[in-house]
Structure 1
Amino acid sequence: MAAIAHELDPNRRVNHFSRQMHAYDEWRQALLSTLSDTRQWLDQHKLSSAELDLRIYENCESLKSDKLTIAFAAEFSRGKSELINAIFFADYQRRLLPSDVGRTTMCTTELFYDHVLGSTYIQLLPIETRRQDLSIEEYTHNRDYWHIIDLDIDSPDQMADALQEVVKVKTVSIDEAKSLGLPIEDDCINNGTIEIPVWRHARISFPHPLLKQGLAILDTPGLNALGTEPELTVSMLPKAEAVLFVLAADTGVTRSDLEMWREHIAGYRKNGCDGLIAALNKIDTLWDEMKSPAQIAKAIASQRKATAHALGIDESRVLPVSAQKALLAKVKQDQALLEASQITELEDYLANKILPSKQRIVWQKIVNDTGSILDDVAGAKHTQINYLTSQQQQMHALSHKNTELSNQVAQKIQTTKENYHSCTTYSETSKTKLNHQAKLVRDTINLEAIDYTVARTRKEMSSALTTIGLRQQIGVFFDSVRDTMQVGANQSDQMVEDFEAVYKRMKKDYGFPDIKLKPLNMVKHRTHLDKLYLQGTQWRDSTDLTMTEQSLVIKKFFISMVSHVRGLFYNAREDIDKWTQESLRPITMHVDEMRQNMERHIEIFSKISDSRTSMRDKLSCLEEKQSAAEKMVDELLKLKTRLTEADPSVGS
């Protein structure tokens, strides 16, 4: 397709996705400011505690380190790396990632910015680590395992040379490749040797504005890599907010494309349909100067429709693009070529669908955590205001020197004492019972119990003499952990009922504010475990299990599945601990507020004299305290409003 070069529209020089990422970063900074103000306000009014301060601090750190991960998956020679360069790094006027003809992505590559170290580097994990029983995630916590190359951002040539390290290969014997659990393809064998990647995994920290604003990119190799690194399918891809499955318009959906899609991509998305996109790349191969623009558009539309049908997805999620022409257009500032490449549709999809979804999840977490703290503090302040109002009414009555009323107030003080002591006794008894119930749940999903099951399964699998025996042990393992999770879920349901009963009694007898108990979502852990079970079952029944050496089967299974199951139980236990602390906090705060109000009540009425001046002074003191409490409630409401008004769906 011939195109006359025109200077790029200034509004498109920074694409829509880049602008939205910048807006997202500003939104995060505003939210961080609100959290910081909340933390400072609680400390200033002596309403904070070690637990509350830690909770808000953790929310701040989570918000700072949070990333929007976009994963790219494709078979070889689909133009995946070129598409990454075109969307995100065209402003460097050159290719950041190697993107030549043929196979360029040899190992899974993560691109991000390391805010903790604040440095630019490449970390490379040797392929030999495949012999160990550690997952890639576990390796990331120890830099000693990695080969590290510092990047000089002021030297494009040094960066280009360093990035070429990612695609390095070496020649090894067939036995060596087999010992690493790598696939052996007959057409790749040369005199009893085969080329394999030098590196297993690469992590690149780079100070690109988008990466510094929270974008992270996961660039995966082809079908064989996904098959030999199950952690990609089990953990890394599902954690991404979006997966772009890149296809080539000139070949359509090939058999290997379809196999990769069905086995490793389509079944493991967590964010619904919007998070899974097919990029139909290389549409420039359909450009033909002998055809009219309408005929070319029709050919592209036909290929788009056929691709959607083959993948079983809606046509709106198949986005045609020419990555190579898009990159060229951005470098040369050619508006016509940029429009012909159709990359703006893909960029807009990421900006309008994927980013807002991520933003909503982040906001919801902050509102649930910090918003609940503000609600609990406001509830305690409302309790104080009610007490102060009651005390003022009693003071007005006493100001008339009514002996009978004085006796009534004295009786009221005695009743307040009795009510407080009764509430204290009930709350302490209830908290002991509730903590015991929470301990039962924690003990059920105890990591030590999971580790015992893992060790037992490993031993049984190692002694299994047949493939049938291996498959049986895989089934036994998942049956065991699913039963354990179900028991824990049943216990947690009972714990929630017990908490609800305590809240109801506290409200009825002790003026507990009308606070709704937050839901305890154990369903998500059970659902996730069921998905892992399905994956384990599919893998157990696959031909891959029959064809692979037994020791590699055990290693592959444990690295990809068991470590993920363990992480799932760890997260479930963390959720139980967090929910228990959050649910006990309003009870503790209410009892403490009752104690303070009782002490103020006793102090005022035990020292009161017959003097009208003294009465007025005491009333004035109560009014000032009530006014201060009401002001605090207003300030808490303003902080809560700042959180709720940050809702990204408002005005979208």
Structure 2
Amino acid sequence: MARLGQWLAGHELLDDGARARLAHLQSQFASDRVMVAFVAEFSRGKSELINAIFFAGYGRRIMPASAGRTTMCPTELGYEAGLPPCLRLLPIETRMQAQSLLEWRSAPDQWQRIDLDVNQPEQLAQAIEQVAQTLRVSVEQARALGFWHEDNPQDNPAPGPDGLVEVPRWRHALINMAHPLLKQGLVIVDTPGLNAIGTEPELTVGMLPQAHAVVFILAADAGVSKSDLAIWREHLAPTAERGESRLVVLNKIDVLWDELSSPQAVEAQIERQRLHSAEVLGLQGRQVFAVSAHKGLLAKVRQDAQLLQQSRLPELERALADDVLGQRRRLLQSTLQQAVQQLRIEVERQLLVRSHEIEEQVQELQALRGKNATVIRQMRARIELEQAEFDQSALRIQTVRSVHLKTLRLLFAQLGSNQIKAEVAEFAQALKQPGVKLGVKTIYKDTFARLRGGMSQSQHWANEVQDMLSGMFRSLNAEYGFTLQTPQRLDLTRFVREIDGIESAHLQYLGLTNLLRLTQVGFCERLAKAVLSSLRKLYEEASSEAEIWSKTAASQLDGQLRERKRNFARRIEAVHRIQEAAGSLDERINELLARQAEVEAELARWLQLCAEAVQPDADGASLASDIAAPDTPLVPLADKALSTATN
């Protein structure tokens, strides 16, 4: 992308539209993340599975995976360039305040930071054990923090002899590591059980829906328990669009290995459990994997190929590679190809216009051979008249554009942050009311109905602008020989679908089962913040798309207007030089022919650069196939890279 931009700038072809599109693509690829969320109730072996897949190269466990509750707070593993390897922990007390998790991320001084030595597995593991720390607090404090609910007493932590209950010490943990896969953009989200998910709305409406894949872990001997099913139905049940992004793992199949039974009988039992779990959760059988994370980790550490195959871990790794990393890369590749294709066509058109105008100049000058000074003066006068008429048309174009700019301002105002705040204000105010909030669900639905209506209105205004541009471009093409192409229509329908997704993700918090929780001021504030944060992100993306679309259309017109003005100036200059020196006619024609050859070479080079830009990167394109290959070595790609990585 950088090379394309430099080439366009060097050839005076980098208009506002091309610059905006290239900048958007560069930003998209630079910040792109592949988020895989691991979700499970306590004691399902979730942390052990993360260790087996990603950290076996260390020769030991990195994530705490002892018996009982280990990961007590949501934990993200990722990589931020410019930040040293470290563990950052957000105190649980921040739940008492109104700020969202997104806002706390931009307040680094509020997080406790522990530096990590990625070359020292012991120190690394000891530091990360902090995510399992707990506090003992009173029932009142637990209720204020969101861990004690009168309406769901079976989920409340058991009070000790002193009357205190155990809650997580940390609200959120961020681990920054230079692991090879994390450096490539993989983000692992390790989430604790139902209580932690349910009390943190931003997990449900932010992280989990945005995850490119969710790995839901069950115990192979128990199958889908009541609490597992509650998590699945309330937070993870796939929509039609995201069904393929849900993978289920029946972990701990080694518990079913029975020396008193035949291997066939054990296999049949595992298969029955796998298919039954798929049926209960409404998934295809191929989306449910039976594995032993413990045996898989042990096999990798000991280099035991037979045990690794028995653990079935490679099957899950292949699914993650093909269905998550591979699919994400294919989507990005498709995005790149579409963007470069559109850019290629626009720049190719500009270069062809340049070539055509040079050809017209050559024919114009060749017609002057043998003509006297009077004919040459008449030609100059005709060119100047054409230029004056064109300048008048430019004023008319600006008048039409001012109308289209007014409509654009309405469009951008509708997609702006002030509009979102205004639409959500009534819902936020309803959440602030004390006591039971019986009417808040209706207000919530009305709010989202208005948001959908506003997005539909934005689509209407975008269509109006499109129709105005189409009429203007047809007129200019007919009158002045331009080659303006109406851009593709701005399509905002996917944002309407995303609004629907945000609405349905929050709706569960406003039902009868949450009436008592809605009386808690802190919970309501977090819920309002979560709604607003999700909507703000969506509208910023919609506004960005609209801006690029608008600039693309405007810059195409500006570019051809600019080229036409330059062409008039060059034609007048050529005639002037011929008037000054009779011998310069052939010289000028030769210059133009040479310039035309240069433009043709530029066009060939541009097409070559575009072809190179959409070619898959050799190393990156083979990532998924290397991980998923049938002859995958005992230590997989992630661990091989890890073993040779430097701090």
Q: Distance in 2 between matches of 1:512 and 1:342?
A: 63
Specify the alignment match of 1:66 in structure 2.
32
Q: Distance in 2 between matches of 1:89 and 1:594?
A: 61
Q: Distance in 2 between matches of 1:309 and 1:340?
A: 24
How far residue 547 of structure 1 moved from its aligned partner, in angstroms, is 4.8
Residue 40 of structure 2 corresponds to residue 36 of structure 1: no
Residue 205 of structure 2 corresponds to residue 234 of structure 1: yes
How far residue 61 of structure 1 moved from its aligned partner, in angstroms, is 4.4
Deviations along 1:403-429, whole A, 9 cap, x unmatched? 998688557625642553254234322
**1:71-150 equivalent positions in 2, closer than 5 A:** 71-117=37-83, 119-150=84-115
Residue 414 of structure 2 corresponds to residue 444 of structure 1: yes
Specify the alignment match of 1:253 in structure 2.
224
Q: Distance in 2 between matches of 1:650 and 1:568?
A: 30
Q: Of 197, 201, 210, which aligns to 2:181?
A: 210
SS in 2 for 1:608: helix
CA contact (8 A) 2:21 2:548 kept: no
Cα distance, 1:368–1:433 mapped onto 2, change above 3 Å: farther
Q: How many residues align?
A: 616
How far residue 347 of structure 1 moved from its aligned partner, in angstroms, is 1.0
Cα distance, 1:503–1:80 mapped onto 2, change above 3 Å: farther
Q: Distance in 2 between matches of 1:553 and 1:229?
A: 8
Structure 1 unpaired stretches of 5+? 1-34
Residue 146 of structure 2 corresponds to residue 181 of structure 1: yes
Specify the alignment match of 1:382 in structure 2.
352
TM-score, with length taken from structure 2: 0.89
How far residue 600 of structure 1 moved from its aligned partner, in angstroms, is 0.9
Cα distance, 1:206–1:186 mapped onto 2, change above 3 Å: closer
Amino acid of the structure 1 residue aligned with 2:33: K
- Comparing 479-488 with 331-340, which one deviates more in the overlay? 479-488
Amino acid of the structure 1 residue aligned with 2:227: S
Cα distance, 1:107–1:269 mapped onto 2, change above 3 Å: farther
How far residue 269 of structure 1 moved from its aligned partner, in angstroms, is 8.1
Q: Of 470, 495, 505, which aligns to 2:475?
A: 505
How far residue 220 of structure 1 moved from its aligned partner, in angstroms, is 0.8
Residue 460 of structure 2 corresponds to residue 494 of structure 1: no
Percent identity between matched residues is: 33
How far residue 374 of structure 1 moved from its aligned partner, in angstroms, is 4.3
**1:357-506 equivalent positions in 2, closer than 5 A:** 357-369=327-339, 371-401=341-371, 409-410=379-380, 413-414=383-384, 416-418=386-388, 420-463=390-433, 466-506=436-476
SS in 2 for 1:188: coil
Q: Of 593, 597, 603, which aligns to 1:623?
A: 593
Cα distance, 1:266–1:444 mapped onto 2, change above 3 Å: same
Cα distance, 1:643–1:206 mapped onto 2, change above 3 Å: same
How far residue 512 of structure 1 moved from its aligned partner, in angstroms, is 3.1
Segments of 4+ moved more than 6 angstroms: 402-405, 647-652
Q: Of 324, 341, 346, which aligns to 1:354?
A: 324
Q: Distance in 2 between matches of 1:241 and 1:162?
A: 28
How far residue 53 of structure 1 moved from its aligned partner, in angstroms, is 4.9
How far residue 249 of structure 1 moved from its aligned partner, in angstroms, is 0.9
Cα distance, 1:216–1:154 mapped onto 2, change above 3 Å: same
Structure 2 unpaired stretches of 5+? 150-154, 626-647
How far residue 173 of structure 1 moved from its aligned partner, in angstroms, is 0.2
CA contact (8 A) 1:72 1:80 kept: yes
Cα distance, 1:179–1:186 mapped onto 2, change above 3 Å: closer
TM-score, with length taken from structure 1: 0.88
How far residue 456 of structure 1 moved from its aligned partner, in angstroms, is 4.1
Amino acid of the structure 2 residue aligned with 1:163: I
How far residue 399 of structure 1 moved from its aligned partner, in angstroms, is 1.6
CA contact (8 A) 2:89 2:113 kept: yes
CA contact (8 A) 2:251 2:291 kept: yes
Q: Which has the higher contact order (CA 8 A, sep 6+)?
A: 2
Specify the alignment match of 2:124 in structure 1.
159
Amino acid of the structure 1 residue aligned with 2:123: Q
Q: Distance in 2 between matches of 1:463 and 1:274?
A: 41
Q: Distance in 2 between matches of 1:353 and 1:381?
A: 41
Cα distance, 1:638–1:632 mapped onto 2, change above 3 Å: same
Deviations along 1:33-57, whole A, 9 cap, x unmatched? xx22212222333443677556535
- Comparing 401-410 with 620-629, which one deviates more in the overlay? 401-410
Deviations along 1:549-568, whole A, 9 cap, x unmatched? 24245224303223212332
How far residue 402 of structure 1 moved from its aligned partner, in angstroms, is 7.9
**1:449-598 equivalent positions in 2, closer than 5 A:** 449-463=419-433, 466-513=436-483, 515-598=485-568
CA contact (8 A) 2:296 2:308 kept: yes
CA contact (8 A) 2:459 2:491 kept: no
Q: Distance in 2 between matches of 1:150 and 1:430?
A: 60
CA contact (8 A) 2:362 2:589 kept: yes
How far residue 230 of structure 1 moved from its aligned partner, in angstroms, is 1.5
